[in-house]
Amino acid sequence: MESNSKAVELYTLRSRSYLRFINAVAYPQGISAYFQQSPHLEEDMRVLDAGCGTGIATLAVRKAMLARGIQPGNINGFDITPKMLATFRSNLRKQAIGGIEVVQADVLELGTLPDSWRSYDLIISAAMMEYISPERLVEALSGLRSLLGDTGTLVLFITRRNWLTRLLIGKWWHANCYRHSELEAYLHRAGFPRITFGSFPFPYKHLSVWGYIVEASQVSTCSLADERALPV
């Protein structure tokens, strides 16, 4: 996409098609299953969903926390598309879900977020970074990194580049697709010292044909080892 305005137009026109598509491939269930096995969830943690859309990833994380007996803390989300946010807010009201605050914002203009939206333990971003031009992807990733706490982690769900995604995601959804090595390079340039790639668990492994799960941490592997070596 050449501009975020085109992403807004696309998801305003195709919001229902998007929901049908992700539900058909069990994308929300796959995200929740991943987080049910993730070491990144903890009690009362601060979570931000960057590009929350209709709340698919936000609610998947919340569901995973509750399934593990973890009480969700503050959960925030932002998206650039008003129609998607309206659907998200409507679903929250219908399901009587509290503790989630969402606003309209652009990942390339994070200064418009509320002042208190800082020091997150976990930032998630699902199927949003594909709509940032490659020339500005490092800028977007750096901006999200600035919102993390000292030991926070960014988890990206992002489209991988292969023949299937070029046809289905690239052409139909006008999204950028990336290789493993490209994502590593972008995240390192954004300042993340520790980058690992996760995977969707069974029975959602088919989602790995679509995309990567990338975990980018503020803390390097060496720092983690040093912390474990400290005397108690």
Query: pLDDT tens digits for 25-74?
Result: 999 999 999 999 999 999 989 999 999 999 999 999 999 999 999 999 88
Number of domains in the chain: 1
CATH number of 179's domain: 3.40.50.150
Q: How would you classify the pairing of strands 120-126 and 75-79?
A: unpaired
Mean pLDDT of the chain: 89
Q: How far apart are CA 175 and CA 154, in angstroms?
A: 21
Query: What is the identity of the amino acid at 163?
Result: W
The count of other CB atoms within 10 Å of the CB of residue 72 is 20
Kindly write down the DSSP assignment for every residue of 44-55, as one continuous string. T--EEEET-TTS
* pLDDT tens string 116-135: 999 999 999 998 999 899 99
- pTM of structure: 0.88
Rounded to 5 degrees, φ, ψ at 58 are -55, -50
Residue among 82, 92, 96 nearest 15 (CA): 82
* pLDDT reading at 18 higher than 80: no
Q: State the residue range of the domain holding 162.
A: 4-229
